[in-house]
Amino acid sequence: DGGITQSPKYLFRKEGQNVTLSCEQNLNHDAMYWYRQDPGQGLRLIYYSQIVNDFQKGDIAEGYSVSREKKESFPLTVTSAQKNPTAFYLCASSIDGRDAKNIQYFGAGTRLSVL
Amino acid sequence: GQSLEQPSEVTAVEGAIVQINCTYQTSGFYGLSWYQQHDGGAPTFLSYNGLDGLEETGRFSSFLSRSDSYGYLLLQELQMKDSASYFCAVSYSGAGSYQLTFGKGTKLSVIP
């Protein structure tokens, strides 16, 4: 089955710790995205990548970092500089981001909490 | 920048029709999308309007008026499984590609 796999489903971070959220897709999509969702809120864009080895900051990139070394993978690191990391993190992909329709397909999400 | 407004909650009766409105202020607007998200789940794409008018997909329809910066999602013959959050999202051009900005979502509760 083609899709987007996020892991882990639940993650706990200690103070001062960096944690990495995994996102893998087998849809052969060029574009990938990371969103943060807080309770009762919409999705806010953290980072996006249109092609391998290239990525751009979204609206709330501070305290986060990403890499795109392979087309299939777009991991997100929540660094210790992110002071309020507790949220639901969603990874998405789209064919290439060059179509205004830009249908995005989402993973099941990772719920991050601070210990 | 982009901003979207949609109602936070809507309640409707099973079998009825409900309309979820979305107004937006966007620079470089290209279209309006709708996504559905069940509690704790992944958002899924429902519809897209790039031009003014109505798009119909089964029980769901979506409308766009670019001159009014307004759109809506219409759900007919409501079913209990339609209880979910619905997000409108504007498509805009930036950094050589199209991005989406999402509204805060409307939580729809369908009651018997």
Asked if pLDDT for residue B95 goes beyond 80, the answer is no
Number of neighbouring beta carbons within 10 Å of residue B49:
22
Q: What integer best gives the mean pLDDT of chain A?
A: 94
Digit-coded pLDDT (tens) for B27-63: 889 999 999 999 999 999 999 999 999 999 999 999 9
Measured between beta carbons, the chain A residues lying within 8 angstroms of B40 are 109
* Contact A95/B at CB under 8 A: no
Among B29, B86, B99, the strongest candidate for a mutation testing the A interface, having the largest count of A CBs within 10 A, is B99
Digit-coded pLDDT (tens) for A48-72: 999 999 999 999 999 999 999 999 9
Across the beta sheet with B2-5, what order do the strands follow?
Answer: B2-5, B18-26, B70-75, B60-65, B53-57
* Contact B51/A at CB under 8 A: no
Asked if pLDDT for residue A43 goes beyond 90, the answer is yes
Asked if pLDDT for residue B82 goes beyond 90, the answer is yes
Asked if pLDDT for residue A1 goes beyond 70, the answer is no
Q: Are the CB atoms for B42 and B25 separated by under 8 Å?
A: no
Distance of alpha carbon B20 from alpha carbon B70, whole angstroms: 11
Q: Which residue of B has its CA nearest to A37?
A: B104
Instruction: Give per-residue burial for A16-25: e unless 16+ CB within 10 Å, then b.
Output: eeebebbbbb
Mean pLDDT for the stretch of residues A37-43: 90
Q: What pLDDT does residue A76 have? A: 98
Q: Are the CB atoms for B62 and B73 separated by under 8 Å?
A: yes
Q: Of B4, B50, B99, which is closest to A48 when you measure between CB atoms? A: B99
